[in-house]
């Protein structure tokens, strides 16, 4: 927080008033990083309906783990990364849930999925991917997409 405040040429107390604690600042930073990845994933997704949604999710997960600052952070501070990424009230989790819901509603309007299901899917995918990244293992994104496909297909 000292480094960020100094870089912005503001006091630490001002920074804390603006963003809250360190976890909230990291939540904001991660959201900024992944928003562009999500927009690009949706824009380049292939297929129709549910397959388009799943392709976007696949591209998003691959894009996130390819983003070196994010993977370095998850490996350097795995507990903090998991707390921020899995916080049910955090910006990242809220945005992920909302984005998946909107992507599905626009690409696969025939699916009637309860909004809570998107929250569970997002949390599950995040845990499966980032726990492996934090442990310096390759996440199994294909298996994660298969879980999403199974859950979402059940609502067709």
- The secondary structure element, H or E, covering residue 79 is helix 78-86
* Statement: residue 91 has pLDDT above 70: yes
* Mean pLDDT on 75-88: 92
Mean pLDDT across the chain, nearest whole number? 91
Q: Would you say residue 2 lies in a domain?
A: no
Higher pLDDT, 21 or 109: 109
Contacts of 115 (CB under 8 A, 6+ apart): 97, 101
By the 10 Å C-beta count (0-12 exposed, 13-18 middle, 19+ buried), 85 is classed as buried
DSSP labels for 116-127? HHHHHHHHHHHH
* Statement: residue 55 has pLDDT above 70: yes
Q: Would you say residue 74 lies in a domain?
A: yes
* Mean pLDDT on 70-96: 92
Q: Would you say residue 94 lies in a domain?
A: yes
pLDDT-above-70 percentage for the chain? 99
- Measure the CA–CA gap between 96 and 34, rounded to whole angstroms: 9
Measured from the Cβ of residue 111, the count of other Cβ atoms closer than 10 Å reads 17
Q: Would you say residue 128 lies in a domain?
A: yes
- Indicate if the alpha-carbon torsion angle 17, 20, 26, 31 is positive or negative: negative
Q: Which domain holds residue 108?
A: 21-153
Q: Would you say residue 8 lies in a domain?
A: no
Model confidence pLDDT, tens digit, residues 99-142: 988 999 999 998 889 988 988 999 999 999 999 999 999 999 99
| pLDDT for res 19 | 78
- Indicate if the alpha-carbon torsion angle 138, 142, 148, 151 is positive or negative: negative
Q: Would you say residue 4 lies in a domain?
A: no
Model confidence pLDDT, tens digit, residues 3-20: 877 888 888 788 778 877
* Mean pLDDT on 18-33: 87
| pLDDT for res 57 | 96
Confidence of residue 53 (pLDDT cuts 50, 70, 90): very high
* Mean pLDDT on 32-59: 95
Select from 70, 9, 12 the least CA-distant residue to 38: 70
Q: Would you say residue 54 lies in a domain?
A: yes
CB 84 within 8 A of CB 94: no
CA distance from start to end of the chain: 47
* Statement: residue 1 has pLDDT above 70: no
CB 87 within 8 A of CB 139: no
| pLDDT for res 30 | 93
Q: Would you say residue 31 lies in a domain?
A: yes
- Count structural domains, the chain: 1
């Amino acid at each position: 927080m000292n480094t960020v405040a100094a870089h912005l040429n503001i006091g630490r107390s001002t920074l804390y008033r603006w963003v809250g604690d360190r976890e909230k600042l990291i939540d904001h930073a991660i959201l900024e990083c992944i928003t562009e990845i999500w927009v690009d994933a949706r824009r380049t997704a292939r297929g129709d309906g549910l397959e388009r949604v799943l392709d976007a999710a696949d591209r998003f997960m691959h894009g996130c783990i390819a983003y070196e600052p994010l993977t370095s952070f998850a490996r350097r501070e795995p507990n903090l990364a998991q707390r921020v990424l899995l916080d049910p009230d955090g910006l990242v989790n809220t945005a992920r849930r909302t984005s998946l819901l909107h992507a599905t509603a626009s690409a696969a309007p025939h699916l009637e999925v309860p909004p809570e299901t998107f929250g569970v899917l997002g949390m599950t995918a995040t845990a499966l991917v980032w726990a492996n990244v934090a442990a310096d293992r390759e996440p199994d994104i294909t298996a994660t997409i298969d879980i999403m496909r199974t859950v979402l297909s059940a609502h067709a």
